[in-house]
Amino acid sequence: MNGKVAKYGMLVALAFILSWVEALIPFGNLGIPGIKIGLANLVVFAAIYLCGPWGALLISLVRIVLSGLAFNGMFYMIYSLAGGMLSLGVMLLCRKCRYFSKIGVSVAGGISHNIGQICVAALTLGSSSVFYYFPVLLIAGTVSGAVIGCVGGIVLEKLPRGIIGG
């Protein structure tokens, strides 16, 4: 049990560091507001395969709360929770049905993350006009999901078997 807690703690710390690194990258200067690669999602993606659903959920929730408190505030947490939890649920379902490759699981997660966030934006603003931005978010979710899936697949292949029990 202690080893599992330590391993989960290391994964949370890694996700938190990746969130910090991503917070340093000025994506807004690219002229595409709200677009990020989702580096911390790499850890959550790997946790799905290494720790199982409950471990991945725990790691994701702790990372979102810590990152919100440290870097972005309450609104970030709300948007990130909506996107993160929908994404995690979709990735778990895609992995369970076994029709999806690791990249496919991650792409589904990237797209659903953006769906969750745009739904929160629509509710917050009280307007459906934000859905006009959805095609941009669909492309961004697909690209970032593919990148995270490729990198995550490589990382999972390189890790020794049994490194983290589910």
pLDDT digits (tens, 9 = 90+) for 8-63: 999 999 999 998 888 887 765 556 666 788 899 999 999 999 999 999 999 999 99
Distance CA 24, CA 134 (A): 25
Q: Please say if the pLDDT value at position 165 is more than 70.
A: no
pLDDT at 160: 77
pLDDT at 42: 95
CA 105 to chain centre: 12
pLDDT at 163: 64
Q: Provide mean pLDDT across the span 78-93.
A: 95
Q: What is the DSSP string of 9-41?
A: HHHHHHHHHHHHHHHHS-GGGGT-TT----HHH
Average pLDDT, the chain: 89
Name which of 87, 76, 143, 91 is nearest 114 in CA terms.
Answer: 87
pLDDT at 11: 93
Question: Which amino acid, 140?
Answer: A
Distance CA 134, CA 114 (A): 8
Name which of 103, 105, 84, 101 is nearest 93 in CA terms.
Answer: 105
* pLDDT band with cut points at 50, 70 and 90 for residue 6: confident
- From residue 59, how far is each of 121, 134, 137, 150 by CA, in Å? 24, 28, 25, 21
